[in-house]
Amino acid sequence: MSIPCTRCNVKSSTYHREYSGERLCPDCFKETVLDRVKRTINKYKMFEWDSRIAIGVSGGKDSLVLLHLLHMIESVRPKAELIAVCIDEGVSGYRDEALRLAEINCRKLDIEMHTLSFSDLFDETMDEIAVKERELGACSYCGVLRRRALNEAAKQVDADRLATGHNLDDMSQSVLLNILRGDTHRIDSFDPGGQKLGDYVRRVKPLCEIPERETTYYAFIDNMEFQSLPCPYADEAMRSDARRFLNQMEHKRPGIKFAVYQTGLKIRGTREGQVMNRCEICGAPTPGKICRTCELTNS
């Protein structure tokens, strides 16, 4: 027996949003996701009417959903521009498929795509880094280098914003991880709306209030092709633990991810008075003497 959509009351519902009690048909589901992303953009004043927005596209579902949503949202602003920026970390097999998916979607939406590789920027691929003797897991290297690479790519295309596909699950995991690690600096910089810091292009996270289940379901009903290969270096044990814990809590108590995310927003400090130094090696803004990218690439 089909249950009518609680929003339009016309079509049959296909998705139960447990934390709100809504039962939605595919059209209303997509509209409510779009509305929430628009509200998030407005709440954090993420874009100007004429922003040149670099979208970090990995080829995964989150970044592809972001690409499609921003294409819809920004199409009513003729002065706004979208450019997809893709990072080729040099993970053979895995990244080839992702870049192919990114290219298909950019072509479909007529969005320019700019690719930058780890080997261009750091003279090393992730495949080469992964086989080296190292203190940290591969994800730690990849995350830091990828963040720098995205910023460089955004600068190369003269973007004034860099939008990434971080979703509610990513955000709530980060809050929990930073609390567990006692990393007060990162809690202070928890900011979905981002800030212009020195040479860093302002990073914004328009999907920060969309749960990962919903970006996945959106991609499914929009007939997007899914990446079939997992990253061979995915080994971020602590984040996996946080993800599993939050998923189990959300299953028992729907809405817990929103609560953790809101807690992060409440406990973060302000950046006023926070002094940023210049990295002694590359000149990038850093709270210490050497930035994390240089620490890792020189270790």
Partner 1 sequence: MRIRVRLMGVLSKAQRNKEVFLDLPNDSTVGAAIKTIIATNEALKEVLWDTEVDSPSPNALIILNGVEIKNLQGTETPLLPGQELVLLSVVHGG
Please give the residue ranges that form the binding site for partner 1 (CB under 8 A): 2-3, 12-16, 18, 23, 26, 58, 60-62, 98, 165, 169, 212-213, 215-217, 220, 226-230, 234, 243, 247-248, 250-251
For the CB of residue 150, give the shortest distance to partner 1 in the complex, in Å: 16
Query: Residue 106 has which token pair?
Result: 């950019």
Q: Can you tell me which residue has the tokens 């499609």?
A: 68
Nearer to partner 1, 189 or 227 (CB): 227
Nearer to partner 1, 191 or 250 (CB): 250
Q: Can you tell me which residue has the tokens 């814990």?
A: 245
For the CB of residue 184, give the shortest distance to partner 1 in the complex, in Å: 28
Nearer to partner 1, 70 or 246 (CB): 246
Nearer to partner 1, 19 or 124 (CB): 19
Q: What is the DSSP letter of 281?
A: T
Which residues on adjacent β-strands are paired with residue 53? 82, 161
For the CB of residue 231, give the shortest distance to partner 1 in the complex, in Å: 8
212 touches 62 (CB < 8 A)? yes
The rounded distance, in Å, linking the Cα atoms of 166 and 208 is: 6
For the CB of residue 77, give the shortest distance to partner 1 in the complex, in Å: 28
For the CB of residue 55, give the shortest distance to partner 1 in the complex, in Å: 15
Nearer to partner 1, 234 or 276 (CB): 234
For the CB of residue 123, give the shortest distance to partner 1 in the complex, in Å: 28
Nearer to partner 1, 15 or 261 (CB): 15
For the CB of residue 58, give the shortest distance to partner 1 in the complex, in Å: 8
- Residue 278 DSSP SS3: strand
Long-range pairs for 217-225: beta carbons < 8 A, 24 or more residues apart = 217/15, 217/29, 218/29, 218/30, 218/33, 218/65, 219/61, 219/64, 219/65, 221/14, 221/26, 221/29, 221/30, 222/30, 222/65, 222/68, 224/61, 224/64, 224/65, 224/68, 224/105, 225/101, 225/104
Nearer to partner 1, 234 or 265 (CB): 234
Q: Calculate the CA 63 to chain-centre distance.
A: 7
The rounded distance, in Å, linking the Cα atoms of 125 and 92 is: 9
Nearer to partner 1, 53 or 66 (CB): 66
For the CB of residue 174, give the shortest distance to partner 1 in the complex, in Å: 14
The rounded distance, in Å, linking the Cα atoms of 11 and 28 is: 9
Distances (CA, A) of 78 to 48, 49, 144, 190: 12, 8, 34, 31
Closest CA to 164 of 175, 149, 177, 176: 149
